[in-house]
Chains A and B, each alone.
Chain A
Amino acid sequence: MSTATTHGHAHDHHDDHHGPAKGLMRWVTTTNHKDIGTLYLVFALVMLFVGGAMALIIRLELFQPGLQFVNPDFFNQMTTMHALIMVFGMIMPAFVGFANWMIPMMIGAPDMALPRLNNWSFWILPFASGILVSTLFMDGGGPAGGWTLYPPLVLQTGNAFPFAIFAVHLLGMSSIMGAINIIVTIMNMRAPGMTLLKMPLFVWTWLITAYLLIGAMPVLAGGVTMLLTDQFFGTSFFSAAGGGDPVLFQHIFWFFGHPEVYIIILPAFGIVSQIIPTFSRKPLFGYDSMVYATASIGFLSYIVWAHHMFTVGMPLAGMMFFMLSTMLIAIPTGVKVFNWLSTMWRGSLTFETPMLFAIGFLFLFTIGGFSGLMLAITPADFQYHDTYFVVAHFHYVLVPGALFGALGGAYYWLPKWTGHMYDETLGKVHFWMSAIFVNVTFFPQHFLGLAGMPRRIPDYATQFADWNMVSSIGAFGFGFAQLLFVYVVIKCVRGGKPATAEVWDNPEGLEWTVPSPAPYHTFDEAPVIK
C-alpha cells in the first residue's frame, strides 16, 4: 500500500496564517475537516450517554418482574428512542467523525472536497437530535412504536409524530450530505499515485458505506413521508381499508434497514483493518480480497431485506430467496475474519488498547455473525423472530462490533489528534470492563430469547427473572465503564506523554507522516505516493 516520500513539513509556517478562529464561532463556522471531525466525535460521545441512559432505564425496569419504575408506554418510548438515538445520533455520526478526521489525512488531501457542505451536515445533527429528544415531552409522549416505525401502530403516536418524522428526515439529509462529501473527496482528492487499490482499507470501507447511504437513506425518507401523508393528507399507502398494505412499509423500511446495518458495521471493519496490521507489525493479509469482500457485502446488503420479515406471510419462493441470499453474506464476512486472523498469524503482536478492542471485536462480532447465520434459517427464524435472541444478535454486532470498532479507533488515533499519549493502563481497564460487561449483558439474552421471551416487553413471566437480572447488572457495569473512557479522553486532551509523529511502532499510512498533533492544515502540498 501507500508510503509517502518524506516531503518534510516545510509548509508548517502556514499554520500561523490559517490557524483556527477563536472562541465559540470557530466551531460554528468551521469548514476544517479536523474541527468538524472533532465536532462529530464529541457529539457522538454525548449521544452515547443519552442513548445509554435510555438503555439503562430499560434494563432497570427489567431488573425484576413486575413494573417498578416506568409505565409500559414510557418503556416503549425508551426502546424506540434508544434505538433511534444510538443508530442515527451516535454510531453513524461517530464514524462520520472518523471519516472527516482521517480520510483526507489517509489519502493525502488538504481537506474534504466540500467544506461548507461538511459544516452544514454536522450542524443539522444537534437540531435534528434535539427535535427527536424533545418529542418525549410532547402531548402523548415520544414515538413508542419501535425504531422500525411500523404502521399502523406508529400512526397512534400523539403530537410527536410529525416531529419525529421531521427529525428522521433531517438526520437522513445530514447522512446523505456527509456521504456525498466523502465520495467526492475520495474520488477527486487522492494524492498523485494513490490509486484506488492503494487506499487504506478504512477509506475503502467508507467509500462503499457512502454509496450504501446514498442508496438507502432516500428510501427511508420516502417511507416516512408516506407515513406522514397517510396520517395527515388522506393517502392509504399502508392502510388496507383504503387499498394499501401495512407490509409495504416493512419492505420499504428494511430495504433501507438492511444496508443500514452495513452502513454501521463497514467503517468498523475499516478501523479494525487499520489497527490489526499495526500491532501485528505486518501488512494487512489479503488486501485485495478484503476490498472485494467489502464490495460484495455492500451488494448483498440490498437483496436480503425481507429476512427481517419472515413471519409476515411471504410466498414460499420469497422466503427461499431471502434465506439463501442471507446465507451468502456469511461468505464475504468469513473472508474478512480469516484475513484478519491471517494478518496476526506469524506477526509480532503487542496488545495496546486499540489492539485489545480490535481483538475483542474479532471474537465478539463473530459471535454476532454466527447468530446471524442461525437467524437466516427461515424455519428456525420462526422461533427466533422478535425474541431476545434477536436482541442479543444485533447487540453483539452493534456493541462489541461497531462500538468496539469506534472505541478502538479512538484510542488508535487519539495521540495523532491530541499530540499526547492516552493513559494506557486506564485504557486497558476500560477495555476489560467493556469486554466483560458486554458479555454479561448480552450473552444471557440468547437464553432468554430461546426460552421464549419476546422483545419489547416491559414485564415478563417469572421464569425469565434470573437472566434478566444478570443482563441488567451487566448493562449498568457497561454503562459505568464508558464513563472511564470519557475520563481517559479528557485526560489525554489535557496532557500526557508527547506523541511522536509515528505514535506506534512503524505503522503504515500517510496520517503517521504528519506531526502529532496533526497541524490544522495538512498536505497543502500533495505527498507523492510510491
Chain B
Amino acid sequence: MPHPNPTTPSPAPRRATLASALALPALLLAGLPARADWSLLNMPVGVTPVSREVYDLHMLILWICTIIAVATFGAMAYALVAFRKSKGAVADTNMTHSTAAEIIWTVIPVVILVFMAFQAAPALIRIEDTRNSEMTIKITGYQWKWEYEYLNEGVSLFSSLAADSNAARRKNAGIDPRSVENYLLEVDEPLVVPAGVKIRYLITANDVLHAWWVPDFAVKRDAIPGYVNEGWFQVDEPGIYRGQCAELCGKDHGFMPVVVKVVPKAEFDAWLAARKAPAAVAAAN
C-alpha cells in the first residue's frame, strides 16, 4: 500500500485558508472568535493509509474547486463592477453567442474532470482491496449498540454508549455535556485491535440500517440486515479513535458511538488471551 504521506500527520493547522477566510465574517457575527478551534474546519488527515489518501484527494479537489471559484467569481465580480448602468455602461446587444466560447468552457472542464477521475479511480481500487488481511472482525449494528466478533477466536463483545454520557444526554438532565469527557463519543467497551495489522471487517445489522464510521480511518460502510458488507483498515499508530453511527437508525441514532482502541500487537494478543480465558473456563464447565 503506497503511502502518499508517510510522516506522522499534524492535526492543525490545516490548509483550509479559503474556508477560514469565508468563515471569518460568520465568526465575527456570532462574536465567538476567541473560542473557535481552527482544527475543526477540515477533514482529519487520519491515521490509516486510506485516510491519508482520501485526505489528499479531498484537498486536491478542494483546491481545484477553489481555483475555479476564484476565476469564476472573480469574473462575476468584475462584471458586476464594470458593467453597471449607473457607471454609464451601454449594453452590447450583439453579443448573443459564441461557439468558440462554448467549446472552451466545455473542453476545459472535461480536461479537469478526466484528471480528477484518474486521481480518484486508483484510490478507489486500493480502498476496495480487502485481500491479504491478517484478521477478520465481524461488526453487527443493533438499535442502539455495536457488537464486535473476533472471527475464529471465539471472542465477542457489545459496545454501547458510556454511562456518564448516557446520563447527561437525557432531556433536561441537568448535567452540562461539557463536564462529561468525550461526551457522546465514549463507550463502555471499545473495539480493541492490534496496530500495524491489516484488519478486514465484515459488517451487517440485526434490525435496521446502521453505518460504521471512524473519521480517522476514512472508513464508512452501511450495516444492512440480511447482507454482509466488507472493508478494511490498518492503523500503525496506537491510540483511541472515535466515530459514530452514520445512518439514521431510530431515536437513539445519535447515541451509538464507535470507539476503537488500537494497541501494540503484543498487548492485543494478551488482551485476546485474557478475553478467551473466561470463555474457555465457561465452556469446560
Q: Which residues of A come within 8 Å of B, CB atoms? A: 65-68, 70-73, 76, 144-146, 150, 152-153, 156, 239-241, 245-247, 280-289, 311-313, 316, 319-320, 323-324, 327-328, 330-331, 334-335, 337-338, 341-342, 344-350, 359, 362-363, 366-367, 370, 373-374, 377-380, 382-383, 385-387, 439-440, 443-444, 446-447, 450-452, 454, 456-467, 469-470, 473-474
Instruction: Indicate if the CB atoms of A346 and B96 lie closer than 8 Å.
Output: no
Residues of chain A lying within 8 A (CB to CB) of residue B58: 374, 377, 380, 383
Among A328, A349, A464, point to the contact of B84 (Cβ < 8 A): A349
Using known A-B contacts A363-B73, A463-B37, A470-B32, determine if residue A341 contacts B251 with beta carbons closer than 8 Å: no
In angstroms, how far is the closest chain A Cβ from the Cβ of B108? 9
Instruction: Indicate if the CB atoms of A387 and B90 lie closer than 8 Å.
Output: no
Residues of chain A lying within 8 A (CB to CB) of residue B213: 386, 454
| Interchain Cβ contacts under 8 Å between A and B, 20 examples | A65-B177, A67-B170, A72-B254, A152-B207, A286-B98, A286-B101, A312-B224, A319-B124, A346-B91, A347-B92, A348-B89, A370-B65, A383-B43, A383-B58, A386-B211, A386-B246, A450-B41, A456-B248, A459-B254, A463-B40
Instruction: Indicate if the CB atoms of B23 and A447 lie closer than 8 Å.
Output: yes
Residues of chain B lying within 8 A (CB to CB) of residue A146: 248
C-alpha gap A323/B113 in the complex (Å): 11
Kindly report which residue of chain A lies nearest to residue B228, judged by CB atoms. Answer: A313
Using known A-B contacts A65-B177, A144-B251, A247-B224, determine if residue A444 contacts B23 with beta carbons closer than 8 Å: yes
Which residues of B, 3-32, contact A by the 8 Å Cβ criterion?
19, 22-23, 25-27, 29-30, 32
Which residues of B, 224-261, contact A by the 8 Å Cβ criterion?
224-227, 229-230, 243-255
C-alpha gap A359/B184 in the complex (Å): 42
Residues of chain A lying within 8 A (CB to CB) of residue B68: 370
Among B27, B61, B89, B222, point to the contact of A312 (Cβ < 8 A): B222
Among A362, A374, A379, A460, point to the contact of B62 (Cβ < 8 A): A374
Instruction: Indicate if the CB atoms of B177 and A323 lie closer than 8 Å.
Output: no
Instruction: Indicate if the CB atoms of B89 and A349 lie closer than 8 Å.
Output: yes
Among B37, B69, B221, B244, point to the contact of A313 (Cβ < 8 A): B221
The main secondary structure of chain A at its interface with chain B is helix
Q: Which residues of B come within 8 Å of A, CB atoms? A: 19, 22-23, 25-27, 29-30, 32, 35-37, 40-44, 50, 53-54, 57-58, 61-62, 65, 68-69, 72-73, 75-76, 79-80, 83-86, 89-93, 95-98, 101-102, 105-106, 109-110, 113, 116-117, 120-121, 123-125, 127-128, 168-173, 175-178, 182-185, 207-209, 211, 213, 215, 218-222, 224-227, 229-230, 243-255
Among B116, B209, B226, B253, point to the contact of A377 (Cβ < 8 A): B116
Instruction: Indicate if the CB atoms of B32 and A379 lie closer than 8 Å.
Output: no
Instruction: Indicate if the CB atoms of B110 and A331 lie closer than 8 Å.
Output: yes
Kindly report which residue of chain B lies nearest to residue A366, judged by CB atoms. Answer: B72
Chain A to chain B: the 9 pairs with minimum beta-carbon distance, closest first: A240-B226, A457-B254, A313-B229, A281-B91, A346-B92, A348-B91, A370-B65, A65-B177, A153-B208
Apart from the given pairs A341-B75, A348-B85, A454-B246, 20 other A-B contacts in the complex at a CB distance below 8 Å: A65-B177, A72-B252, A144-B251, A150-B209, A311-B246, A323-B117, A331-B106, A345-B95, A348-B91, A349-B83, A370-B69, A439-B25, A454-B254, A457-B254, A461-B182, A461-B183, A466-B40, A467-B40, A473-B30, A474-B26
In angstroms, how far is the closest chain B Cβ from the Cβ of A372? 10
Instruction: Indicate if the CB atoms of B80 and A349 lie closer than 8 Å.
Output: yes
In angstroms, how far is the closest chain B Cβ from the Cβ of A143? 12
In angstroms, how far is the closest chain B Cβ from the Cβ of A238? 10
C-alpha gap A3/B52 in the complex (Å): 59
Using known A-B contacts A286-B102, A289-B97, A349-B79, determine if residue A377 contacts B61 with beta carbons closer than 8 Å: yes
C-alpha gap A152/B204 in the complex (Å): 13
Among B19, B178, B245, point to the contact of A462 (Cβ < 8 A): B178
Using known A-B contacts A379-B53, A454-B246, determine if residue A439 contacts B83 with beta carbons closer than 8 Å: no
Among B36, B75, B110, B123, point to the contact of A466 (Cβ < 8 A): B36
In angstroms, how far is the closest chain B Cβ from the Cβ of A159? 17
Kindly report which residue of chain A lies nearest to residue B88, judged by CB atoms. Answer: A348
Kindly report which residue of chain A lies nearest to residue B41, judged by CB atoms. Answer: A447
Residues of chain B lying within 8 A (CB to CB) of residue A379: 50, 53-54, 57, 120, 123-124, 127, 218
C-alpha gap A471/B252 in the complex (Å): 23
Residues of chain A lying within 8 A (CB to CB) of residue B50: 379
Kindly report which residue of chain A lies nearest to residue B126, judged by CB atoms. Answer: A379
Number of A-B contacts (CB under 8 A): 309
Instruction: Indicate if the CB atoms of B85 and A246 lie closer than 8 Å.
Output: no
C-alpha gap A474/B23 in the complex (Å): 13
Residues of chain B lying within 8 A (CB to CB) of residue A316: 124-125, 128
Instruction: Indicate if the CB atoms of B253 and A447 lie closer than 8 Å.
Output: no
Instruction: Indicate if the CB atoms of A440 and B254 lie closer than 8 Å.
Output: no
Among A247, A460, A469, point to the contact of B184 (Cβ < 8 A): A460
C-alpha gap A362/B30 in the complex (Å): 26
C-alpha gap A312/B41 in the complex (Å): 27
In angstroms, how far is the closest chain A Cβ from the Cβ of B104? 9
Using known A-B contacts A145-B248, A240-B227, A246-B209, determine if residue A67 contacts B172 with beta carbons closer than 8 Å: yes
C-alpha gap A319/B83 in the complex (Å): 45
Using known A-B contacts A71-B251, A377-B116, A379-B120, determine if residue A350 contacts B225 with beta carbons closer than 8 Å: no
Among B25, B98, B246, point to the contact of A385 (Cβ < 8 A): B246
Instruction: Indicate if the CB atoms of B80 and A460 lie closer than 8 Å.
Output: no
Kindly report which residue of chain A lies nearest to residue B204, judged by CB atoms. Answer: A240
Using known A-B contacts A152-B208, A379-B124, A444-B26, determine if residue A246 contacts B225 with beta carbons closer than 8 Å: yes
Instruction: Indicate if the CB atoms of B79 and A345 lie closer than 8 Å.
Output: yes
Instruction: Indicate if the CB atoms of B93 and A282 lie closer than 8 Å.
Output: yes
C-alpha gap A338/B113 in the complex (Å): 17
Instruction: Indicate if the CB atoms of B249 and A289 lie closer than 8 Å.
Output: no
Among B23, B37, B76, point to the contact of A362 (Cβ < 8 A): B76
Instruction: Indicate if the CB atoms of B35 and A466 lie closer than 8 Å.
Output: yes
In angstroms, how far is the closest chain A Cβ from the Cβ of B84? 5
In angstroms, how far is the closest chain B Cβ from the Cβ of A374? 5
